[in-house]
Structure 1
Amino acid sequence: MKKDTIVRHRKIANDIMHYIYKYINTNIDLEELSINLKISKYHMHRIFKEEFGQNIYKTIKSIRLQKAASLLLTNHNSTITNIAKMCGYSSQGAFIKVFKDKFNMTPKEWKRGDYKQLIKIKASYSLKAQILKIKSKKIYYIRHKGDIDSKKLVWEKLNTWVLSKDIKEYNQITLYHDNPSITPLLECQYTAAIQTQEIIEENTLPSLMSPSGIYAKFDFQGSYKEFLEFINWVYFDWLINSGYETTTEPSYVVYKKNSFLDDEDFFIASYYISIYM
């Protein structure tokens, strides 16, 4: 496949993902989306699967259920019917069925606390969140999913790209398109990215705009295993008790020390989760 074709396909896949996040609370019209992108539905589905490794329908279902799982715990005054509508389900019955298929319990059981059977909070933190308004910035990225070895390989490639472009000032970022507290790690979709102070010309990597909005920021130090336990705490302890709700925007990490680039399993990073009142 030619380089310009690869870049074009990546842009189309990104546009599809952006559309899904933007309209996740509606009955997403893929026919309309294919017309807007000026490609056939067949090619739209094929390009998306090439880029993300799963089909559009599975992605929509995953995002909706992750959003619903969070909202059931944080939206104390919302009914299950209201949450189903907020997540794009036309009926409560349809929502209950797909939720039970995913989590082996009903939304009502999840909401009352039975989620603790599946998700164990193994650590407690006394960290305070800093609430910030984050502006969108251009980032250059590689998408991936999988184990630690695959993450290390991706970061080695990004580091090589930084060196080849002689970039001096930049941030290393990982966007979490899935909630690792809910989705098995090997199935989670990630975007490893470099955020620079300048626009890179003649670039070999695709680019996109990072998420913007109101975020809660936590500073973290520890191993990768401890970091995953920390994310559990953010979603299933801090968020539930904070009075805030989360959105469908991906959470993300900005590394000060990225241990995927060395042999020491110790991270220093800031974790950002999208919130609103």
Structure 2
Amino acid sequence: MDRKKLVNQSIDYIMQHLDEDLSLDALAAQFYISKFHFSRIFKEETGESIYAFIKRCRIDQSAIDMKLNPDKTITDIGLDYGYSSSNYSSVFRKRHDISPNMFKQSIPTSSMPVPFTPKRIAHFKTAEEYAARIEIREFNDLFVLYERFIGDYADLEKNWYQFLDKYKAFFNEKTILVERFFNDPTITNSAQCICDLCMTVKQDCDLANVMQIRGGKWIVYPFDGEIKDIFETVQGIFSVWLPQSGYSMARRYGVNIYHRIDRDNHSVAMDLCIPIE
């Protein structure tokens, strides 16, 4: 298997199994590769050891769980990721420079600074306003050509244009453009956020960078506006609507499905989609 594809698939697997055994031995066995070879390739491709990557992602995901499950105790969240109460607090503070208790108390419910433009404040709607526009839909699997970017989500607009120009030969009237994101930029360091830019292609596409995006049940919120306002909408759904909705987010990626991209006006029409259980 191509080394980049191997690392990408291992990241996907790790992100979906953060509450399970993710030892180097277990991961190497999952991908039928020597653990020493696997460890070396992962570090060379990502700049992080497998252990450091898993530890970071577990703590970041636990912070997301705190955000989405305000009634769940910090002790229970720590236990979900294999930490004792005291150990969890220590590791969390080391990662985020704040205790889990203080973090939980600071979770915004009405507004927050935009990390990409700190002088700007994002203001949230009410849960009822979000609910009025949200639908629950079932999606089929999508076979896509993709490129993975690890870095600041503020660069996604530029990255999309480069991606579309690079693969314009594969684009046609039936192409679906999909963005697959793994991180919350208010929690994960901006330099470490993961996003896949994707376009649907035929199953016989012979490029190496293809994959299947799994379908299932999703909440869908339509967005039509300037790219700079996407953050405010997504954070409002996550911080205000989802914790009160009665739905649980499935432990995998969210996706954005694009219907229109207007380069000149820096605006898009898209569906913001969150997987639910």
TM-score range, shorter chain: 0.7 to 0.9
1:182 equivalenced with 2:176 (yes/no): no
Q: Residues 116 and 149 from structure 1, CA distance in 2 versus in 1: closer, same or farther, beyond 3 angstroms?
A: closer
**What is aligned with 1:109?**
102
In the TM superposition, residue 21 of structure 1 has moved relative to its aligned partner by 2.6
In the TM superposition, residue 230 of structure 1 has moved relative to its aligned partner by 1.6
**What is aligned with 1:195?**
200
1:157 equivalenced with 2:150 (yes/no): no
In the TM superposition, residue 140 of structure 1 has moved relative to its aligned partner by 1.0
Query: Is the Cα contact below 8 Å between 1:74 and 1:244 reproduced in 2?
Result: no
In the TM superposition, residue 78 of structure 1 has moved relative to its aligned partner by 2.9
Query: Is the Cα contact below 8 Å between 2:135 and 2:219 reproduced in 1?
Result: yes
1:267 equivalenced with 2:268 (yes/no): yes
1:246 equivalenced with 2:249 (yes/no): yes
The alignment partner of 1:72 has SS state of: helix
Query: Is the Cα contact below 8 Å between 2:92 and 2:99 reproduced in 1?
Result: yes
More strand by share: 2
The alignment partner of 1:246 has SS state of: coil
In structure 2, C-alpha distance between the alignment counterparts of 1:76 and 1:153, rounded to whole Å: 35
In the TM superposition, residue 50 of structure 1 has moved relative to its aligned partner by 4.5
Paired residues, number: 263
Percent identity among equivalent residues? 23
> 5+ residue gaps in structure 2?
114-120
**What is aligned with 1:84?**
78
Alignment-mate amino acid for residue 228 of structure 1: F
In structure 1, C-alpha distance between the alignment counterparts of 2:106 and 2:205, rounded to whole Å: 51
Query: Is the Cα contact below 8 Å between 1:246 and 1:273 reproduced in 2?
Result: yes
Alignment-mate amino acid for residue 13 of structure 1: V
In structure 2, C-alpha distance between the alignment counterparts of 1:149 and 1:70, rounded to whole Å: 22
Query: Is the Cα contact below 8 Å between 2:147 and 2:197 reproduced in 1?
Result: yes
RMSD in angstroms over aligned alpha carbons?
2.7
TM-score by length of 1: 0.82
Q: Residues 99 and 213 from structure 1, CA distance in 2 versus in 1: closer, same or farther, beyond 3 angstroms?
A: farther
> 5+ residue gaps in structure 1?
1-6
Q: Residues 61 and 129 from structure 1, CA distance in 2 versus in 1: closer, same or farther, beyond 3 angstroms?
A: farther
**What is aligned with 2:122?**
122
The alignment partner of 1:208 has SS state of: strand
In the TM superposition, residue 190 of structure 1 has moved relative to its aligned partner by 1.0
The alignment partner of 1:271 has SS state of: strand
Residue number among 11, 14, 17 corresponding to 2:5 in the alignment: 11
Query: Is the Cα contact below 8 Å between 2:112 and 2:123 reproduced in 1?
Result: no
Query: Is the Cα contact below 8 Å between 1:172 and 1:194 reproduced in 2?
Result: yes
